[in-house]
Structure 1
Amino acid sequence: MTADRLVLWRHGQTDWNTSGRFQGQADIPLNATGVEQARDAARVLATLGAAQLWSSDLTRTRQTSAALGEATGLEPRLDERLREVHVGTWEGLRGPEIAEVEPEAWAALRRGEDVRRSATGETVSEVGERVAGALVEIAAQAPEGSTVVVTTHGLAGRAGLCRLLDLPFGLWRTFGSLDNCAWSVLHRHHAGGYWRVAEHNVRPLSVRQTIS
């Protein structure tokens, strides 16, 4: 059994998103805008005929998945490997605050290096490995030829996508931002068994209008 289509869906907006705080694995819920984004996106995603719905176990992804669950009758299945990058002691801080307390790490991050998000956090390559590992298993257990929607996070989604495609780590940044409640679509190549990006950062018009 193997899915033919994976849809990587980022959660809706939170107050920490709008204030520019490093969210990481802090369990921050959707704000009112995020709830509306999830409902709008769910109406579109419901037309894909997904066989399964998976989600990170954090509140903001569970709330987002619930909107699609209500539209389709699918019960979200939780996997903690789909969580956002763990940022350790950077949690809740803004960029300038991190630059003040860890200037070298912040400068390296801005240069695109694979920086550990604080001494107790993760690197992007580590996130890519764990998310891609989850995606491989999720796709493999799905009904043959099916579509699976996976609700995850911005950085985790991009890093996991890059690793799933077996691309060099440095290319993860070449995928543009995965905005709040936007999604990427991957198709499995039947002959080669590898995954290809069909669409990236897709949003319905109603969601576009609420992104700042």
Structure 2
Amino acid sequence: MSDAPRVLFWRHGRTAWNVEKRFQGQTDIDLDPVGHAQAERAGRLLATLRPDTVIASDLKRAADTAGYLGRSSGVPVEFDKGLRERFGGSWEGLTAAELAERWPAEHPRMEIPDGEHISEVGDRMVAAVDRGLAKTPPGGLLVIVSHGAALRVGISRMLGVPDERRELLGPLSNCCWSVLQARGQTWRLMEHNAASLPEPVVLSDDA
């Protein structure tokens, strides 16, 4: 087994606010029935990867999603507030259409006037991943259960992508995941926005 650690970043299942296209931020929204079904299915799949450590945001939609993996894998779920979604200030609870109407300049750039700066989100996400890796054995699998915006900036940071260019990485759908694996001192993106287990990779010359 390789000593290179892997980190699987898993977005929570669907909520009613996802359907309504409302900015959730740190408002503590429950999974809807579809979200629970998504998390149960994905949890059973991910359990077959035999995760060593599972750490989740303490917001209910992520915590409940992680619970399905914990029950399927037998790995206890730990919680880290550093994995919470970006705080959205006065944007939380508003629809995308309302945000575009009220903040026509800021909304396309996701510049929340009274919200958390994206650099702060990146800092705390990377710190939380580091704490998780410290609890994971060499060559092990760490599963991080979090939220769409927070995951995208966290993954981008680990790949060396500047915060302002995080849109280079496509969004994560509800209950989908991405996998990073270490190679020396850098990280490589092995999967993105996946909903099924990976196929074996036939190594190329530069692998």
TM-score strictly above 0.5: yes
Aligned position for 2:179: 185
Aligned position for 2:48: 47
**SS of match in other structure, 1:159:** helix
Unaligned segments of structure 1, at least 5 residues: 206-212
CA contact (8 A) 1:85 1:122 kept: yes
Relative to the length of structure 1, the TM-score reads: 0.87
Alignment equivalent of 2:140, drawn from 146, 152, 162: 146
**For residue 194 of structure 2, what is the amino acid of its counterpart?**
V
**SS of match in other structure, 1:48:** coil
CA contact (8 A) 1:3 1:147 kept: no
Alignment equivalent of 1:128, drawn from 103, 107, 122: 122
Aligned position for 2:149: 155
CA contact (8 A) 1:23 1:91 kept: yes
Give the total of aligned pairs: 195
**For residue 75 of structure 2, what is the amino acid of its counterpart?**
L
Q: Which moved more, 1:138-147 or 1:151-160?
A: 138-147
Aligned equivalents of 2:167 and 2:143: distance in 1? 23
State the Cα distance separating 1:3 from its structure 2 match: 6.6
Aligned equivalents of 2:139 and 2:171: distance in 1? 28
CA contact (8 A) 1:24 1:87 kept: yes
Matched, 1:197 2:197: no
Deviations 1:48-78 (Å, cap 9, x if unpaired)? 1111110000000011000001101111100
Aligned equivalents of 2:185 and 2:134: distance in 1? 11
State the Cα distance separating 1:165 from its structure 2 match: 1.9
Aligned equivalents of 2:124 and 2:153: distance in 1? 10
Structure with the bigger percentage of helix? 1
**For residue 117 of structure 2, what is the amino acid of its counterpart?**
T
**For residue 58 of structure 2, what is the amino acid of its counterpart?**
D
Alignment equivalent of 1:118, drawn from 107, 110, 113: 113
> Compared with structure 1, are the counterparts of its residues 68 and 173 closer, same or farther at alpha carbon in structure 2 (3 Å cutoff)?
same
Aligned equivalents of 2:189 and 2:118: distance in 1? 20
Aligned equivalents of 2:147 and 2:78: distance in 1? 16
Aligned equivalents of 2:124 and 2:9: distance in 1? 15
- Percent sequence identity is 42
Deviations 1:116-172 (Å, cap 9, x if unpaired)? x232x1122221121112112211331121111110011110100111222222321
Relative to the length of structure 2, the TM-score reads: 0.89
Aligned equivalents of 2:37 and 2:11: distance in 1? 14
State the Cα distance separating 1:5 from its structure 2 match: 0.7
Q: Which moved more, 1:134-143 or 1:146-155?
A: 134-143
> Compared with structure 1, are the counterparts of its residues 52 and 3 closer, same or farther at alpha carbon in structure 2 (3 Å cutoff)?
farther
Aligned position for 1:94: 95
State the Cα distance separating 1:20 from its structure 2 match: 0.5
Aligned equivalents of 1:97 and 1:185: distance in 2? 34
CA contact (8 A) 2:53 2:75 kept: yes
